[in-house]
Structure 1
C-alpha cells in the first residue's frame, strides 16, 4: 500500500517509532551524520527505493521558551493554529510554526510596530530580494524579537505572522524487500553558530530525529517515480552520492540484491576524511567482496593537500564510465543541487566529449538523449 492506500499521508501522518539512532561519523569529524531506523509496524505503509520519507518535526523547547519569555507570555494562552484548531500557544509554537526563519509577515509587522525597524518594509520590496536575504541570513524569529523589542504582539497576532512548520523530506536509505516494516534514513545533524549571537542554531528536523523523537515521529511516504532503479535488471547502474546523498544508493544496492539483478553496479562516494566520514564503510566493502558492487570509487576531499571530489574521480575514470554509458548504463546523482550536482553534470559533459570524441554541442545532445531515455536521473536538494 502507498501512503494514500494505507490511510496515512501528509495530511494524516503515521505516528512511527524511532528504533535506531546510530552515529556514523567518527570522533574528530566535522560532521554528525546519523543512521536512523524508523518502525512502520502496523501502518501498512509501503515505499519503493528512490522514494522519500516525510517527517513532521517539532521545535526545541529552549527556543520556544525564549520566544515566550521575550513576548511576556506564559504559553498557556489559547490560539488558533495554522490548521484552524485551538491549542495552547506553547503547543502551537512547538509543533505548528517555523521559528528558525523569520517570515515576511513578521518583518512587515515589526516595521509597523517598532520605528527602528521601519527599514524592514523597504527590504520586502521585490527589488531588494538580495538585501533581504543578507539580512535574514543566520537570523531566527527570536533574533528579530530581540533586535526590535518595541514590537509587541497579542498571542493571536503573533501566530498569524508566522509561517506553518513544514515536513522535511529525506531520501530513503533502505529497500523494503530487505528491511520489512522499517525505513532507514541517513541524516546530517545540523548545528552551527552565527557571529551576532552566542546561541547555537540547529536544524529543526535533524535535531528532532537525533534528540527529540521519544514521543513518536509523524511520517508519510513521498513517492518519487522519477528516481527508480531500472526496470531492466540487466542494465548497468552508475550512482554518484557524496555525503548523505549516499542514502538512496544504499537502498538501490539492497534492492538490486533482493531482486537478483544481474546488471553491474558502480558507486561513487565522497566525504571529507576516510578515517572519520566513511559512511557505511563495512557495508559497501562487503558489497564489493560479494560481487554486488563491481566498482566502488571514493573521494575524500581533506585526505590530501589538493581537494578531490566525486566529479574529479569521475573524470579520472572517464574512459570506463563512458564505456558503461555506451553499454546502456543508467546514471544517477543524489545530493546538493547548488554545487555538487552542477559539478557532476559538467564532469559528465567533459567525459562524453573527451572519451566519445564529441564536440560541446554533440556531448550536450548525447546527455539530452540520456535524459529522454530516462537514463540520467537526479534526486537533488
Structure 2
C-alpha cells in the first residue's frame, strides 16, 4: 500500500474522532475502549484506520457516547434515527460513571450534547421522553455544580428549574423532589439560606410519592441548610432521619445515582461537626464515610477535602495544609471545582487565625516591653 493510501486510511472520520477525543481528555486507548464497551484491539484498529466501520447503528452509538455530531462519522442526517430510550439511558449511565471517576469536564460536554439532542427530538408531550429529559436535566445541573464555584450557582439552578417544570408536567414526585431539593441547595450555595430552606422543606413536604432515595437526599441537604442557619436542633433531627432512610436505599435502583447513601450522610456529619468544633466526632464520621463510600476518585477527593478542613480547624495545621494542597491539585486536574470551595474556606479560616494571633502577639509584646515609641 502506498504512503498516500495509508494516510487516507488513518484519516478516516472514525479515526479522527477517536484520536481527537483521546487527546482532548488525555485518555489511554484502554480507557476509551472500556468506555465504549469494546476490545482495546478493536479501538486500535479503528484509530489506525486498519478497520473501517460501516454499521450505522454502531457509528451512531459511538457518536452519542463521544458527544460527536453523527455527520462527523459519515452518517447522513437522513439515515440516522432519533435516540431510543435505551440509547438515552446508556448515555445517562455513562455520564454518571464519568462523575464517579471525576472526569468532570468530559461529563459536562457529553450531557450538554445529550440535552441538545433531546430538545431537538421531543416535539410532543411524550411522558417517557419527558422523564428522560428531566433525568438529563438533573444530571446536567449536578455536573455543572461540580465544575463551577459558588458564585456561579445560577448555571445549575437554571437546569433544576427546568427539571421542576418538566417533573410537574409529567406529575413525577420523585423527579420533582430532586428538582426542588437541588434548587434549594443552589440557593444555599449562593448565600440565600432562607430561600434555600423554603425549597428544601417544599421538597420534603409536597412530594408524598417521592421514592426513599430522593426523600433521604433532600432531607440530608435540608440538614446542611439548617446548620448554616444556626438551627442546630433541627439539624440533628433531620440528619438522624437522613441516616435512617439511607439504609433503605437500593444502590442499584437509586434515583440519586449514588449521590445519597450512608457514606454521604457520614461525610455530611463529619463536615458538620468540623464546623461545630467537635473534631473527635468529625474524624470518627469521616472514617466511617471513607469505609462506606465506593473507592472512586470522586469520593477520594471529597473525603480528602473534608479531612483537610477538620485537621486545620482541629489545630493540626501543617498536616491539614499539606492535605489541602493535595486536594487543590486533584480538584484542578479532575475539574471538581466545587470541592475547592472547601479549601478556600480553609484559607479564609487560616487568614482569620493569623490576624487573631497577630493581635494577641502585639498585646503581649506591649505588656512585656511597653508601648512602642515612634
> TM-score band (shorter)?
under 0.3
Q: TM-score, normalised by structure 1?
A: 0.27
Q: Which fold has the larger relative contact order, with Cα–Cα distance below 8 Å and residues 6 or more apart in sequence?
A: 1
TM-score (norm 2): 0.27
Relative to its length, the structure with more strand (as a share) is: 1
Q: Which has the higher helix share?
A: 2
Q: Who wins on radius of gyration, i.e. which is larger? A: 2
